[in-house]
Structure 1
């Protein structure tokens, strides 16, 4: 920069930047900090606690902060990218690819908006929702357990791994019955995940490093599989798939399709973890919040303050905000978006070539439909790719559910009750792992876990409607002008809430009319021809969307022109 700000006022030195390679925390004398004034130049705390004033930390290089989006990519590889979308493309051809493409970029905007509140205040997105009403974080906690509480990815990974190694049908007798080998393998995976958290005081660091290794291996195996099976000709059909935007092939399963939309990325409760991962990494104002340490092997805890931080809108701080916002977007774009588009498209190409017209679920399609058609090397690559992708996703799911839920429980009750956030985290981790082990151990019919993954995925898609709307409300009505989303991003969140809301209504109507026999709630994709109850669902959807649009416009107008030199904070897609 010609004004010299790159040399120390805005950007870190190389030595300071390297502090972010693990995760970074900067202690503060919290109780001695000035309270933010009640002004439109600072976040609106409503009737809740006030923010403390600190300068925004200097901005490191991209190479120093890669990590949060790698975990998110890992959460995506074993769900949409190797199971849902390859099946959808194999069943309906490339005419559905537009939805994957749109879904990925919708989640890019959604995920970075989830980060925004944490970058600006150091608080988690759940704390932001709590500032609106305590109901919302509790609601997402319950929906998160419904969608992620089933150890489906561990079961699927174990089944794929056991099949590939040839001992799927082996069984061990125990008092409650026979425990087949793939279930034992699944239990081993759950135990291994728990043990990995016990090797370091900073639990986020081991998750990040493990996920980067697993994601890299999964991606390399996917590329090797794509090359070995020679599916490159299928890529010529991708542009036509993108161009067919808005079309749904006849007979499409709305639950599977909505699950695919949610898992064109991580989806549902998983996406909300992006806020906590960037806080643990030390992004922007999140650097002043403590990291969750292992209470068993960790050292002194670091405080996570209930009421976060804000910064005076000086020219230097505004430029730092622009730098942090650009950095967060680049990290997510180059890691999450590019990784998804490359790996998923290659897996779809293989599925389209070898399993076109299949009626099988994801695991069965690969194991019984594609493997018999290819060489032993190709079959081995398929099993290795699926196993690594599913293992990566299961690891991310455990991490996401536990970290999100610990934050919600701590803020809603634990802090006031004197509980320790690290102990809540460690306890939930242990209980969640034990829950998965118990489910895998019981003599219940879970031989085909993919159907339950469809239910979980659909629930994740439905969950994304309310929180995309809430994000827009929080970020436009509670943040000051210089950290608010610009109009382009406001429009993308209008789109996101409308996108997931529309398909959620279709799914709800389908479930009520099909599974529960309430035909009055039948819904159609064109709206016209829906039952009376179906029309009512669409009316509710329209009212919600209208309120979201009006509220966000009012929030933007209320703060317009309230911060001097606000253009210093503006950048691409701010």
Structure 2
């Protein structure tokens, strides 16, 4: 086939094609600029970024399928979603979460579980980490989409929900076990174990005096920045680098990486638990395959403070002693019209949220915890002591010299950074919950609530450290940790189910989780619910005999145990059915959602 003159391309045609290509390329660049923030703009997120808007002048979102459901609350205000920064600019919230995990799952629960039961239990750690990845990112969804905290979303359903989780949070985190543990490590390293010191007219064991000092140090650190979050992020990231770097040096010095060849045992034992496994410790391990419990709820508040998505338009919690004028946390947040541009920005934000959490939290946890498990597996196989005792009385003496010093540094920094995160998480969550339930209507200031609660919670920790002695003398720290961890695991069941229902029934189609994430949340709710029922049944059985006994296979449980299993199945069924109904009802209702259910949406 040949071309005649009319078909042959001309110079003018080539120029026209090139011109069209250049125009299309320029249009694409302009489109990208409208979606993604410039380098200068993105750098604003490296601290925290608050962009105030004339809230009262913004239009209210109508009650339609294009916008989140109001529930028991007012209308959202309409504005555009901010441009999307690069992931490197928004690092921070997940680093704090990783720091919160250092002294729990990474250095305590999972190293001691692997030492006691071998690598056959490692599968549960991996499952727990990835399960928490989905939970934590879903906890962020409402906040990125509306600027409201997870507690505000719960209050839109019923004010009892934030109150319930506040009480759960105090029961699980109100015991300064990590500060006490860090103090025990330090006094052992300094040869002060068992030594009493006179102070303020009292004679106190040295670990108590140091633990009190650590609690006060946490309180003082908040006074160096006008924005409370900035102080937390700076301290936590610094401590995280110290702990991680020292852990790597410790593992290389201990020569324990060869233990990782036993990881194949985890693959062949997936779904199995060793005989004699303590359910309370195991559930605590599942909760602390990450931060766990009340701590996870902080993800919502940290991303609001950082300025993720619509949180960019909400204020930050300021230090009332040194801060400027308070910044408003609007009762009813923001939402955006589902235009093509806003939906592209939303997908960009959601991708950034997932990448930030995956590469900081998931990869960091898997790396640090696994190499520390190799040390405990090599130097304390079959240990019968608790986690802190294992490191101090078995591993440190076995390594001796430099190795022992590295153990002390890793353990002290890990426990201290976790206590820091616990104080931060409890105070920030509880202040927000109190504010949304009754403080706002009473005219209270959120920053004042935060500061006063920080002071009261610090004083409470000091009081508990002073009072708690016998009958657990010498075992206080880990006793606190097991109780708190188990309660954290139980707490994760209801809020995982509730978060799933909120995100699938109250968000419009383009903001809802995709089916993959819905299934992952079904799994997460069932996972924590199952082990929570086992733990609750086991605990009640010690008080009531066989009445509330629960068995792993359900069949053979006591009468009360069957009641507990029935509650579990009803809650799980409700969460599954409601999420399916929400997804189906929303399907095809928003034009910009283009009817596709994206894999990681």
Same-fold call, TM cutoff 0.5: yes
Q: Deviation per CA, 1:110-144, whole angstroms, max 9, x where unpaired?
A: 00000000000100001111111111100000010
What is the rounded CA distance, in whole Å, between the counterparts of 2:106 and 2:493 in structure 1?
A: 21
SS in 1 for 2:35: coil
The answer to whether the Cα contact below 8 Å between 1:84 and 1:260 also exists between their aligned partners in 2 is yes
Larger mean CA deviation between 258-267 and 239-248 belongs to 239-248
Residues 182, 416 of structure 2: 8 Å contact kept? yes
Alignment TM-score, normalising by the size of structure 1: 0.98
Of residues 485, 494, 503 in structure 2, which corresponds to 1:457?
A: 485
Using the TM superposition, give the Cα deviation of residue 538 of structure 1 relative to its aligned residue in structure 2, in angstroms: 1.1
Q: 1:443 to 1:64 in 2, by over 3 A?
A: closer
The separation in 2 between residues aligned to 1:370 and 1:431, in whole angstroms, is: 37
Q: Which residue of 2 aligns with 1:531?
A: 558
Alignment match of 2:548 (pick from 513, 521, 526): 521
1:374, CA displacement in angstroms?
A: 1.2
What is the CA distance between 1:572 and its match in structure 2? 4.7
CA contact (8 A) 1:322 1:571 kept: no
Q: Secondary structure at the match of 1:528?
A: coil
Residue 482 of structure 1: SS of its match in structure 2?
A: helix
Report the 3-state secondary structure (helix = DSSP H, G, I; strand = E; otherwise coil) of the residue aligned with 2:440.
helix
**Counterpart in the other structure of 1:89:** 114
- 8 Å Cα contact 1:319-1:568 kept in structure 2: no
Does the aligned pair in 1 maintain the 2:510–2:592 contact within 8 Å?
no
Number of aligned residue pairs: give it. Answer: 573
Output the CA distance in 2 between the equivalents of 1:398 and 1:74: 13
Cα distance change, pair 165–572 in 1 and its aligned pair in 2 (3 A): farther
1:531 Cα deviation from its structure 2 partner? 1.5
Gaps of 5+ in 2: 1-23
Q: CA RMSD in A?
A: 1.4
Say if 2:323 is the partner of 1:295. Answer: no
Q: Are the equivalent residues in 1 in contact too, given 2:305–2:311 (CA < 8 A)?
A: yes
Given that 2:37 and 2:83 are in contact with CA atoms closer than 8 Å, whether structure 1 keeps it comes out as yes
2:236 aligned to which of 206, 211, 220: 211
Q: 1:447 is matched with which residue?
A: 474
Residue 169 (structure 1) shift: 2.5
Could you give the per-residue CA deviations for residues 146-169 of structure 1, whole angstroms, max 9, x where no partner exists?
Answer: 100001100001111111122222
Scaled by the length of structure 2, the TM-score of the pair is 0.93
Superposition map of 1:286-365 within 5 A: 286-365=311-390
CA distance in 1, matches of 2:439, 2:572: 34
Q: Is the 8 A contact 2:515 2:597 kept in 1?
A: no
Partner of 2:580: 553
Aligned match of 1:540: 567
**Range with bigger deviation, 46-55 or 247-256:** 46-55
Shift of 1:176: 7.8
> Does 236-245 or 428-437 show the bigger shift?
236-245
What secondary structure is seen at the aligned counterpart in 2 of 1:17?
helix
Which deviates the most, 559-568 or 468-477? 559-568
Residue 184 and residue 548 in structure 1: after superposition, are their counterparts in 2 closer, same or farther (change >3 A)?
same
What's 1:200 paired with? 225
Distance in 1 between residues matched to 2:440 and 2:596, nearest whole Å = 34
The answer to whether structure 1 residue 121 and structure 2 residue 149 are counterparts is no
CA distance in 2, matches of 1:123, 1:518: 45
Structure 1 residues not aligned, in runs of 5+: none
Distance 2:599 2:245 in 1: 32
The CA deviation at 1:478 is 0.4
Deviates more, 1:497-506 or 1:524-533: 524-533
